[in-house]
Amino acid sequence: MSVNPDDDGSDRAAPEISGAEHAVMEALWQRSPLTAQEVCEEVCGPRGWSLATVKTLLSRLVVKQAVETEPDGKRFLYSPLMERSDYVGTESRRLVDRLFGGRAAPLFAHLAQSEALTEDDIVEIEALLKELKS
């Protein structure tokens, strides 16, 4: 890893992924590598995009070093470079920081109050809590 001498060592703080780009990332996180065509098959329908749009988003993501390309004959295969868990992590943290002063409990309280918690959620969380305490 880190074979690339261009890498300036600054641990480039997770490139910012925009909303539309995120949809593309999700497709790649689900299955990869994919061609632009295949990504489009995943996301163009739901979002009403054209293939051209997906191509643009993919290039932007390549520039941001969020996905990498691998030549396959005359076309490219795209794979995520960023881990989904990293993305999810920074996004969650950002929200908790901005809205709940960095504390997770108020977020939880809010979800509870707004009835965003299902029975299953509660059971699952209880299990997690038990595990945390061990």
Out of 5, 8, 116, 134, the only residue in the binding site for a second copy (CB under 8 A) is: 116
Buried b (16+ CB within 10 A) or exposed e, 48-69: ebeeebbebbbebbeebebbbb
Q: With CB under 8 A as the rule, give the number of residues binding a second copy.
A: 36
Residues numbered 16 to 35 that lie near a second copy (CB under 8 A) are 22
CA distance 81 to 40: 19
- Picked from a second copy, DNA, none, the partner binding residue 79 (CB below 5 to 8 A depending on kind) is none
N residues, the chain: 134
Query: Does residue 67 contact residue 79 with C-beta atoms inside 8 Å?
Result: yes
The footprint of a second copy (CB under 8 A) covers 22, 85, 87-89, 91-93, 95-96, 98-100, 103-105, 107-112, 114, 116-118, 120-122, 124-126, 128-129, 132-133
